[in-house]
Homo-oligomer: A and B are copies of this chain.
Amino acid sequence: MSKDNILGQSVPLPTIRRMASYIRVLQKFKKQNIRWISTTEFAKRLSLKPIQVRKDLTFTGITGKPRFGFDVVELMGAIETILGWDNRSEAILIGAGGLGSALLGYKGFDRYGFHIVVACDINPDLVGKTIHDKQVVHLDRLEVLVKRLGVSIGILTVPASVGQEIADRLISIGIKGIWNFSPIKLKVPEGIIVQQEDLSSGLAVLYNKLSRVQENS
């Protein structure tokens, strides 16, 4: 498996993450019909260093114009390609509890063209209901749904105790990518992509930074 982009270079993960924020700035500029954007401008808006933005943008293969910067539309297209926009697909969410229902309603994904089309749960209070305009269906029907709707991304917002089991089921019916919000490391076969999120690790960082400041005041 290669990790190469169009230029034959591997794109660092931190760069990929920042690209999500470049897209946001670019969308704003495009809406205002601004044609050019410089790395200085990016840096100012995102509290980054121009040099870092410049380095990141080299991975797009787009060349800028000294004194002007980069063509907004062209750059957007290139970043979208790197982020895999072209192959993106719909998602199914499993576990429509607290965090799950939030993701169902989170508007922030729209700009990335990401849509959760249906949710599964076993809680009788939820099954049959609609959360943020998305149906909640019983987990028993997981396999049927995935096949019928042709989704290829699964979002796991289930308790840790059942995370692996559900991941196995998702994989057995052809899901290729799992966005896992359960605090467990999933074991998956080669070729299956897991993106692990851990809200608590952010909390740990916040706490730690806070205590360091307090120590010195």
* Contact pick for A99, options B45, B102, B176, CB 8 Å: B102
- Interface range for A: 35 or more
Contact A1 B185, CB 8 Å, known A87-B210, A204-B20: no
Binary contact readout A9-29 vs B (1 if CB under 8 angstroms, 0 otherwise) = 001010011111100100000
In the complex, whether A32 has a CB less than 8 A from a CB of chain B is no
B13 touches A200 (CB 8 A): no
In the complex, whether A205 has a CB less than 8 A from a CB of chain B is yes
Nearest opposing residue in chain B for A204, CB measure: B20
Interface residues of A in 179-217 (CB under 8 A from B): 179, 183, 185, 187, 191, 193, 195, 197-217
- Shortest Cβ gap from A47 to chain B (Å): 4
In the complex, whether A105 has a CB less than 8 A from a CB of chain B is yes
Residues of A contacting B: mostly: helix
B88 touches A20 (CB 8 A): no
B203 touches A20 (CB 8 A): yes
In the complex, whether A128 has a CB less than 8 A from a CB of chain B is no
B208 touches A84 (CB 8 A): yes
In the complex, whether A86 has a CB less than 8 A from a CB of chain B is yes
